Structure 1
Amino acid sequence: MPFVLFCGLPASGKTLRVAELKTYIIEKYPDRNVNVVSDHSLGVNRNKVYAESREEKQVRGTLKSAVQRLLNKDDVVILDSLNYIKGFRYELYCVTKSCQTPQCVVWCDINPALAADWNTRRDSGEQYSSDILSGLVMRFEEPKPNNRWDSPLIVVQSDDRLPCKEICDAIFERKAPPPNHSTQSQPLSSTNFLHELDRVTQETLALQHTRPLTLSELQRQKRQFISYTKTHPVEDTSSLTSMFVQFLNSSLQ
């Protein structure tokens, strides 16, 4: 279930670091499976994808879906991609938060000139074109430790050893952030709570004669009350009628 997000400039050594972390976890935590999601696993043509914003957006969606599919209570999921857009990192944070799993962000921080040099040392089929690399360097949005979606943030310089123990402590020893209240599965106070809620609101609307109301207005008030009550369930369903009447009286004044 723990999630590790790697980010960094093109050719910053992320894939080598990911392989190192995977090996460490397998050795130290043999009961954990490690799943790596990456551009490589999707067969991404980097120069083609990162030249077209529409295709790049589709790839990000595919990466996110793959992470969501693999998250479970036992396995470790590592995402090996640029992850250079803070909005995308926030989306992934929301995914892990809703799953109630801890996450960690590892930033492979590297000088752009060194990244360009390392890029030239790759096989020709693995290289970013100079234009694509320059554009991605310009667009890279650095993670910041004060952003909750970038925290905890572990920064690794090009000549640093990967702090595998620190990463593992962050994902295995730290509690997951609580999910947003609105995204939790609300514990219904009784097995027929939703049925009772719908019945009571419908019957109350039929008896409400404070002033002439259109059907659409009545339905809108009903939907608003149901949405609120589903996230604030009550034990005593017999109180729903009075609650709805009070809601209508305050809303329709």
Structure 2
Amino acid sequence: MPLIMMSGFPASGKTTRAHQIKGFFESKISELSPTDPRIARLKVHIVSDDSLGLSREAYREARPEKDARATFYAAIKRLLSQNDIVIADGMNYIKGYRYQLHCEAKALLTPSCVVHVGAPAEKCKEWNVSAVDEGVDESGGKGEGPGDVVGGHRREAYAPDVLDNLIFRYEEPNGMSRWDSPLFTVPWMDEDIPGEEMWNAMVNNEAVKPHQATILKPAVEANYLQVLDKATQEVVLAVVEHQKMHGAGGSVTIPEASNKIELPTNHVGLPQLQRMRRQFISFNRQHTAEKTSLKNMFVEYLNGELE
């Protein structure tokens, strides 16, 4: 069943919102279970850094952060099934990481959404200090709403420099991107979540249609990785050549692909393109698709990353 990805600045109140969502969904399940066997089988889970025993200090350096994200990702993957609703209570602040989680849900033909918990950076810093002083949840307040205490125990705060760095690196969700849609934005001052809208989108929707970019198949072709590498390299070279001839911005037509790349107004350097290419290959190395499909998939990925 659905994957609900929480996203927002650190210490913005994501854990409180995650528990609000869990409570609402469990209430709906209890209400509808007597008349709907499909609903009766559903269970709701929250996966968070706290539940996995991951320290906030993991975000100080690249390697431990990568390991922490891998642990988080593996826990979500284990829980995702047709009868489990998984709430990914993390920052999920990297676009490529949300794309990867979206692909896992899509591979199981189950929907996903993003809940953006909106709070100003200064408010997050204030709440982060409160987490140390008063032992409240990651949002730092008390009582009802974003500052509700969850679990009745003190939550680890972020070191100020780690907090500043994570806020600086945060990549805000965009509802126009396939992997960030549907997008539900919950401002920090709102007491409630859009529970009914989320339930209707995640549980009452029709079965998710398979997509060429997310159906996992065995990589039976011996040269599949070479084909994947060559197809993505051709797309990168096309972008580089376009910028040499026309400068930054504009649309790039890719041979053998039906879609175009829409470039931003600033120049996109080769190192940045190669980084995105390597990430795309990492996400799709176990998939199989025709060469033209691979190019369309990569074009779609680049358009999401470059917006």
- TM superposition score normalised by structure 2: 0.59
Letter in 2 for 1:35: H
Aligned residue in 2 for 1:215: none
Percent of pairs with identical residues: 39
Aligned to 1:33: 43
Within 5 A, what are the aligned runs for 1:80-99? 80-99=89-108
Cα displacement (A) at 1:20: 1.0
1:5 partner SS: strand
CA RMSD between the two structures: 2.5
Cα distance in 2 between the residues matched to 1:137 and 1:62:
22
- Secondary structure of the corresponding residue to residue 60 of structure 2: coil
How far, CA to CA, are the matches of 2:289 and 2:175 in structure 1? 32
**Cα distance between partner residues in 2 of 1:122 and 1:183:** 39
Structure number with higher helix proportion: 1
Segment drifting more, 146-155 vs 173-182: 173-182
For 1:111, the equivalent position in structure 2 comes to 120
SS of equivalent to 1:105: strand
Partner of 1:129: 159
Give the Cα–Cα distance (whole angstroms) in 2 for the partners of residues 87 and 231 of structure 1. 20
Match for 1:163: what amino acid? P
SS in 2 for 1:40: coil
Give the equivalent residue in structure 2 for 1:63.
Answer: 72
> Quick check: 1:74 aligned with 2:105?
no
Residue type matched to 2:99 in 1?
Answer: Y
CA positional deviation for 1:180: 3.2
Q: Which of 210, 214, 233 does residue 179 from structure 1 map onto?
A: 210
Q: Does 2:172 align with 1:163?
A: no
Shift of 1:116: 0.7
Choose between structure 1 and 2 for higher RCO, CA contacts under 8 A separated by at least 6 residues: 1
Note if 1:13 corresponds to 2:43. Answer: no
Q: Letter of the aligned partner of 1:86 in structure 2?
A: K
Offset of residue 156 of structure 1: 0.6
Alpha-carbon contact 1:97-1:176 (below 8 Å) kept = no
Extract unaligned runs of 5+ from structure 1.
Answer: 187-193, 195-218, 225-229, 233-253
Counterpart of 1:2 in structure 2 is 2
Query: In structure 2, how many angstroms separate the alpha carbons of the residues matched to 1:25 and 1:131?
Result: 36
Q: How many residues align?
A: 194
1:123 CA displacement: 2.8
| Matched AA of 1:166 | E
Contact persistence 1:103–1:176 (CA under 8 A):
no
Offset at residue 183 of structure 1 (A): 5.7
Q: Tell me the CA shift for residue 176 of structure 1.
A: 4.7
Give the counterpart letter for 2:79 in structure 1.
L
Distance 1:171 1:14 in 2: 19
What are the residue-to-residue correspondences of 1:193-232 with 2, within 5 Å? none
**Against the structure 1 CA distance between its residues 58 and 166, is the aligned structure 2 distance closer, same or farther, given a 3 Å change threshold?**
same
Residue by residue, what CA displacement relative to the aligned partner does 1:36-73 show, whole Å, maximum 9, x if unpaired?
11101111110x20011111111111111111111111
Q: 1:185 to 1:89 in 2, by over 3 A?
A: closer
Distance 1:75 1:139, change over 3 A: same
Q: Does the residue aligned with 2:23 lie in a helix, a strand or coil?
A: helix
1:137-192 deviations in whole A, cap 9, x for unaligned?
10000000100000000001011121111111110122354333476478xxxxxx
TM-score, reference length from structure 1: 0.71
Amino acid aligned to 1:102:
P
Q: Distance in 2 between matches of 1:112 and 1:123?
A: 17
**Alignment CA distance shift 1:98-1:20 (3 Å):** same
CA distance in 2, matches of 1:4, 1:182: 20
Q: Deviations over 1:82-127 (max 9, x none)?
A: 1000010000011111111011110001100111111111136621
Q: Residues 127 and 73 from structure 1, CA distance in 2 versus in 1: closer, same or farther, beyond 3 angstroms?
A: same
Return the index of the structure with the highest Cα Rg: 1
Aligned partners of 2:115, 2:10: CA distance in 1, in Å? 14
